[in-house]
A and B are shown apart, each in its own frame.
Chain A
Amino acid sequence: MATFQFLPALLQGTWITIQLTIYSTILGAVFSFTFGIGKLSHLRSARYVSIAYIEVFRGTSLLVQLFWLFFALPLLGEPVAHLVGAIVPGYQPNVDAWAQAFRLEPVTAGVLALALNIGAYGAEVVRGAIQAVPKDQYEAATALNFTPRQALWRIALPQAIVEMMPPFGNLAVQNLKDTALVSLITLGDLAFKAEQMRNLTQQSVPIYTLTLFLYFGLALVLMGIMRLIEHRVGRWARVGGR
């Protein structure tokens, strides 16, 4: 069938999409916990940095963030190198090396932009879930002489994680959809391959239909995985026959 001749190329792209999703979702989760917990910190500096991060990356378009990291960041290489050279005494920066470091590969820029973006949304989920843990739990923890950090990690977070899972599931699927944008900085994912094929063969209908179904399939699998994780993490909540 004519449609399926495109499948091998599209599947190549699909594999890239899968990897992108995995890396950016995991890195995004790290950002989410870091800044979600940071927003609740006693340290004012931690709070301000977290709030700034969340507002900036939630308040601007992902594509803008992506383009900025890929096109604009490299231009900061030289000025930052000079700045560091001016601040750190006796350090002669290798300007070329610095400029090179700031020039991100498409895959780096892509994963970073995706992770930063989804991390900001996730941070609010983390924050909200932690705040939803009843204050009584903290009092019980204090009464038993846990340190605040122990109370957070051993008492609050395990309970909060159950609250986080449903929204995290949605964010994971959103992230999967967002990976399509990295095709615009020449990363060879599914969207890129689809556009490439279309350019070559002009067969828009079969190519894009197939692509849509491939993304849909990936999304269903991802939702299934998230539901499994949700199940395992919330085992204790269902034991009482809720």
Chain B
Amino acid sequence: MSTFDDIDSPKLAEDFGAYHPINHMKDSIMNLLVSLGFEIVNGPEIESEEFNFDMLNIKKSHPARQMHDTFYVNNKTNVLRTHTSPVQIRGMLEKKPPLAFISGGKVFRKDDDSTHLPMFHQVEGIYVDEGVSFSNLKDLIFRIIHSLFGDDVQLRFRPSYFPFTEPSAEVDILSKDGKWLEILGCGIVNPVVLENCKIDSTKFSGFAFGLGVERIAMLKYGVNDIREFYKSNLDFLNQFK
């Protein structure tokens, strides 16, 4: 028989806040890559055209460099980085191979509709050493995809085009309703990019890959509208504890 003194106060309901689901997803991917030996590098969101485009073999005539795709700032002297790749360029200029970098963060493109936002997040990585091949790249991609979507997920590699990789590929996974969903882009680092970073492309080769964090988060959490992530609605954020 309990007495008044025995009564415990009711347990306090857990009242923690939450990490933003996009940052949480970004950190999860980056932690996985760190566990594989990649080193995190950071860089600025306001970049020069040289680092955002030229060093990455994106020529002046490339559509991405037109005013309708890229945000220019400061009387066109700088751009808001359109990808996190320039961070890796900075990393390659600083250190000598073998090197394995990842960078993650905000990127900006001049888009705004139900599936695209002018600001979104990427995680990109690069690995440069002697004798790195597309076969090695496949090994890493399998490890990333299996870690994110389970060992049973079916995936395919499709040839694609990025100025900074050659050969280039996009990777799709087969969804439960039988549709192929694009997950990431990757490829063998274009020797031109290595040479731009003063790396001897006759001796070293590398691979690079990049993932859109929102896209993966939408798939993993079942969020259908990308804009939900950025309304800062507590009912939404409270679900990601």
Binding partners A and B: no
Residues of B within 8 A of A (CB): none
Residues of A within 8 A of B (CB): none
